[in-house]
Amino acid sequence: MKIKYLLSVIAIVAFTKDSFAQYSQDAIRFSTFQTGSTSRIKAIGNAGTAVGGDLSSISGNPAGLGFFTHSEISITPEFNGSKVNSTYLGQFGTDSKSNLNFNNASVVIYQRLNTPKGRDKTKGWLSFNYGAAYSRTNNFYENITYGGKNASNSIGDYYASLANANGQVNQGGLDDWAYQQNLIDSYSTTGGGSEYRRNAFGTVDQLSNTIRSGGQSEVNLAFGANYSNKLYLGLGLSLSDIRYNSYSVFNETGNANILVNNIGTNVGFNSGFVQDQITKGSGGNVKLGLIYKPVNTLRLGFTVTSPTFYSIDDSYDESLATKFNNGSAFANGPQDYSLSYNMRTPFKFTGGAAIFIGKYGFISGDVDYIDYKTTHISSNDSYTADFDNGNIKALYRSTINAHVGAEARLNSMLYLRGGYSIQGSPLKQNGSDIKTVTGGIGVRFGNYYVDATYAHLSGSQTVYPYEIAAASPSAYLKKTNNNAFLTLGYSF
């Protein structure tokens, strides 16, 4: 099994220039999913662990289901707008992508427990409520473009480094394709030896384009119980799904010195390296939660989310094509490198508190702890995961996510909300936290309600289109997302 070359597959969890050609990036990418929620909880920065009584409890803290005193149902569509500004070799670029998705659908069924006649109906186990939900937990839609004039090196240096690492070209490998297409050649060195070098010379124009789509989603089943209006306990089961597609082209144009009729000749060229990845997976996890009210104005919440155990099918194709101005043209691939493997995401521990200010609203805050170093890929007969698991431990770290938000009740119908959150980068180096600012309004009329939320996400990363040690060129990407959510709900 030949490991795929992930030269320029880049994500919001940017990877460093020591981590190419591995599956560890995907393992972390699929471990950074968010908790599914309604527009209301999104508007308060997803700080809903201790709030309770919202349909988000089904996929968040299932103990919150114990607060319901009626049944309820809602749907939440979303709009996602992604923009990526790039800086590469002093040249600025931008690209964008937008899409509509179905973000959340939830239902909870209220079941009051019978209390013996004459017994205090506010003591003991009071209700046992069930919930089911669909949630979109990760969005991979984005377009990324960067390029510039490179006077220092060429992707041909990367191809040559692959051949030099083995002392010869790897038959049928990327370096062999580059050799066949006159992008690299064997040159004599002092002392009678030889080494592979690029044939391109001078300044080359480089352009990278990546198109991504897909996402992660969950189907959640949960229940929550209410004990004496003081202690709320919950249990949830999540069935997860992954769909990730990435199509990337790295194009280089310039001049190369190649042999034409055994004579070294300077010829213009254009070469494109294509990577096409399609990944599908499914898995599951369980979640335990509690909320405790020491006094009516204060709620304390805690949730433990088990690792998600995924079964993943990965299909990766790569191809290389080169045209020279003298009319010669070459093409190799697409070569498929498919692999099925299992992976385990980290535990997630969440604690939160909410302070309720009478009928005027509340303030809420959450903290998540996730140790990305514990992400694990399992080996099988086709693949040994030791190197990838070593990369995970060496390149990634534990991190803290923080969420804070508030809801103000303006009158019996209108609610105003705002929030802020920081998702810590899983990378030890070259990472960036993702910051989210949210705001929203809610309207209640009878048994119906409408909640609308706007979320602005921002983050940055440094990526490397190819690896040639300290000389690797880098692109700085500044990413922003402008998302909108609308929840329509009904209680019965």
Question: Which domains occur in the chain, in start order?
Answer: 24-491 (2.40.160.60)
pLDDT reported for residue 429: 82
pLDDT band for 13, please (50, 70, 90 cuts). very low
Decide if pLDDT at 16 tops 50.
no
pLDDT more than 70, % of the chain: 95
* pLDDT tens readout for residues 209-242: 999 999 999 999 999 999 999 999 999 999 999 9
Decide if pLDDT at 4 tops 80.
no
Please tell me the distance from the alpha carbon of residue 236 to that of residue 450, in angstroms, as a whole number: 26
Can you list the alpha helix ranges (DSSP code H) found in 87-240?
155-166, 174-180
Strands of 190-262, DSSP E: 194-198, 200-227, 231-260
Please tell me the distance from the alpha carbon of residue 209 to that of residue 156, in angstroms, as a whole number: 18
Burial, 250: exposed, middle or buried (Cβ in 10 Å; 0-12, 13-18, 19+)? buried
Helix (H, G, I), strand (E, B) or coil at 57: helix
Cβ neighbours for 369, distance < 8 A, ≥ 6 positions apart: 348, 349, 350, 398, 399, 400
Q: Angle at the Cα of 469 (from 186 to 317), degrees rounded to 5?
A: 75
Neighbour count for residue 433 (Cβ, 10 Å): 16
* pLDDT tens readout for residues 139-179: 999 999 999 999 999 999 999 999 999 889 999 999 999 99
Mean of per-residue pLDDT scores for the chain: 92
DSSP, residue by residue, 294-348: EETTEEEEEEEEPPPEEEEEEEEEEEEEEEETTS-EEEEEEEEEEEEEEEEPPPE
Give the mean model confidence (pLDDT) for residues 33-50. 94
Strands of 357-423, DSSP E: 361-371, 376-377, 398-409, 414-423
Neighbour count for residue 160 (Cβ, 10 Å): 26
CA atoms within 13 A on the CB side of 435: 6
Give the mean model confidence (pLDDT) for residues 77-83. 97
Q: What are phi and psi of 180, to 5 degrees?
A: -65, -30
